[in-house]
Chain A
Amino acid sequence: MTSKKMLAQNVKAVVFYGIMFAVSSVWLYPYVWLFLSSFKPWNEIYTTFIPSHLTLKSYSYILSVADQMGYPFLRGLFNSIFISVVVTVSVVVTSAIVGYAVAKIRFGGSKALFNFVIYQMLFPGFMFTVPLYIVIRSFGLLDTYAAMIVPSLMGAWGVFMFSQSFKSVPNDYIEAAKIDGANFFWVVFNVMVPLSRSTMAIVTIFTFIGIWDNFMWPLIVIQSHPKMPLAVLLAVFNKTYGGYVGPILAGSVIQTIPMVIIFIIFRKYFLQGISMSFK
């Protein structure tokens, strides 16, 4: 009787895990297909799943031939890295400082500042696309790196996240550091931030991915190919040379891989961030 029950349970487990693996592979399939196809000979992209042999033709095409055609993908990659890193560093640093002001400094404007940050987060970003373009245009910044970087240097969400996390740090820590003669910046970056490591990781990941994946804004403000981030350059190339499927897929791999790596390294924080940002 008990062995029968155990058998039934085992069968159940096998079916359950079988279904789970099947469904996860459906979810992974587009990525696997993309990755394999970027190494396939061009005539096999649609016909076979496993390539008959691997080739780097698509990669050499997108990195060197496309470059000669006026689509510098390597430079696009560096543009993306440059923009994302600058914005992420700035957002983390400024959010920590302003978040500290909101959470730990008692001054006339601290309540107003917190309310203002919440208020800013209420408005969907797409409302500001057109007017922000006009502002950037009036500053004469169209088609510059500044147009992609400057409007994102500080953000309400980061300030909110840091202030929430700093509020839970006991004031004694700050007082102790001050007695030891620590100045303000030392307190923020050597006391507060290390105590809020997961918040810092979350703000870093989500900001980096958000900027890396940002498409509409650079599409609007950047005209010249050498200044485009990878996403926009790839989209523009795809519009004109849609027939070159292999190189476009290779470009998509290059565009995706940094995010996947960041995701895999920081997966613990990523999972935390999803449940944390909704508390």
Chain B
Amino acid sequence: MKSNVRSLERVENIKGWLLSGPYWIFAAIFFGYPFVWLVVLALSKWNFISPRETIWLDNFIKLFRDPMFWTVTWNTIRFMFYFIPMGLTLSIALAMAFSKAKRFKTFFAMSFLIANVSSGVAYSIIFTQLFSTNGPVNNFLYDHFGVFIPWFSDPNWAMFSIAIMVTWKFMGYYALIFLAGLQAIPKELYEAAEIDGATKWTQFWKITLPLLNPSIVMVMVLAITLTFGIFTEPFMITGGGPLNSTQTFMMVIYTDAFLKYEPGYAATMSIVAAGMSFALILLTRKLIERKVEFA
């Protein structure tokens, strides 16, 4: 009997390793091996062809002295400064509207979510045309308000315009996350507040917003992760310009590795960018995450 149990355990053990084996091997080749290369590259000077030269931390020193690195860091901060407040407020507002809507629910949800499945290349092309100097949006603005906005051609506007595009794409997605958060808030809290004579405005600030904290943290984490990965929009629309005002980390990594043939420097940049996004996420959680209890 005992040996029977033991042999069953052995069979399970062998089965487990056999089934997960291909995954371990795959991960070793396409996760582990690149990981080693990432570290090796960051410590090397190389142009893909001539022998690789180990330069230890010189890439990091070069990075912190590189004005482009600081430009990109500043661009990333500017993007988040536009995108996060705009995305958060609009999607919370939309989620509240969703929760109020009794009819046409599917239609509303679909019209905001369909933006989210738009292909990056195609929607960059659409917005290039819509926001072009003499495009439909400017025609409309000029005819009705007499103004004209240099969406992508002015260094002060270009990053903001990209933030508008990204908001357009992700607002419905974030709103659904907030909607799930809103639905988790017990109705009794609002009823109690109503009896105590609290206005809708106070209810929003004292009940809705504090209890929405987990969703807010989640959306902010998603937004930060997204910010550091932005590539298609600047690549397609502005090429990083005007005056490098829309260069992002991914744009610079792409340029350095594949156009300037400096994979070592690009790998260093990607490690530092990933570190920054990680630090920012930790900071966000530390600063705004609260323990929420639905009593």
Contact = CB atoms under 8 A, between A and B. Distances in A.
B228 A128 contact: no
Nearest to A49: B136
A130 B121 contact: no
Interface string B221-233: 0000100110110
Contacts of A78: none
Interface stretch (B70-78, B80-88, B103-111, B143-151): B103-111
A241 B266 CA distance: 30
B103 A17 contact: yes
A106 B218 contact: no
Interface residues on B, range: 35 or more
Nearest to B271: A127
B50 interface: no
Main secondary structure of the interface of B (DSSP, over half): helix
Contacts of A124: 225, 228-229, 274, 277
Contacts of B35: 128, 131
Contacts of B101: 16-17, 20
A119 B135 CA distance: 46
A131 B34 CA distance: 5
B204 interface: no
Interface residues on A, range: 35 or more
Contacts of A110: 16, 20
Interface of B: 9, 12-17, 19-20, 22-24, 26-27, 29-31, 33-38, 41, 48, 94, 97, 100-101, 103-104, 106-115, 117-123, 125-127, 129-130, 134-136, 139, 168, 171-173, 176-177, 180, 218, 225, 228-229, 231-232, 235-236, 249-250, 253-254, 257-258, 263, 266-267, 270-271, 273-274, 277
Interface of A: 16-17, 19-21, 23-25, 27-28, 30-31, 33-34, 37, 45-46, 49, 94, 97-98, 100-102, 105-110, 113, 116, 120, 123-135, 137, 150-151, 153-154, 156, 159, 184, 209, 212-213, 215-216, 220, 231-232, 234-235, 238, 245, 248-249, 252-253, 255-256, 259-260, 262-264, 267, 270-271, 274-275, 278
